[in-house]
């Protein structure tokens, strides 16, 4: 009975995680009046991802960063 109950949980997949990759996303102000804050933040995130991947990723999975520009516009964010 316990094996039957655990079966569906063991098969559940976390969104953005596969055998070889972990996908993370960010939305930053890359244009507009406060891009002077958003661009360096994204650059730091990219650097961290590069360092993590250079060391073999997370539990053997490479990290992929997806970035979107909200342009300091609440409608886009």
pTM: 0.77
Higher local confidence (pLDDT), 12 or 30:
30
Mean pLDDT, residues 23-42 taken together: 96
Q: What is the rounded CA–CA span in Å between residue 77 and residue 74?
A: 5
Give me the pLDDT at residue 18, please.
94
Q: What is the rounded CA–CA span in Å between residue 33 and residue 53?
A: 32
H-helix or E-strand spanning residue 3: helix 2-11
Number of CB atoms found within 10 A of residue 63's CB: 16
Q: What is the rounded CA–CA span in Å between residue 77 and residue 67?
A: 12
Confidence band for 4, pLDDT divided at 50, 70 and 90: very low
User: Of 8-12, 43-47, 59-63, 70-74, which gets the smallest average pLDDT?
Assistant: 8-12
């Amino acid at each position: 009975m316990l094996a039957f109950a655990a079966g569906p949980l063991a098969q559940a997949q976390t969104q953005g995680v596969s055998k070889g990759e972990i996908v993370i996303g960010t939305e930053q102000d890359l244009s507009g009046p406060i891009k002077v804050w958003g661009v360096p933040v994204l650059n730091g995130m990219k650097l961290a991802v590069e360092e993590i991947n250079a060391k073999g990723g997370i539990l053997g999975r490479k990290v992929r960063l997806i970035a979107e520009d909200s342009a300091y516009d609440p409608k886009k964010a």
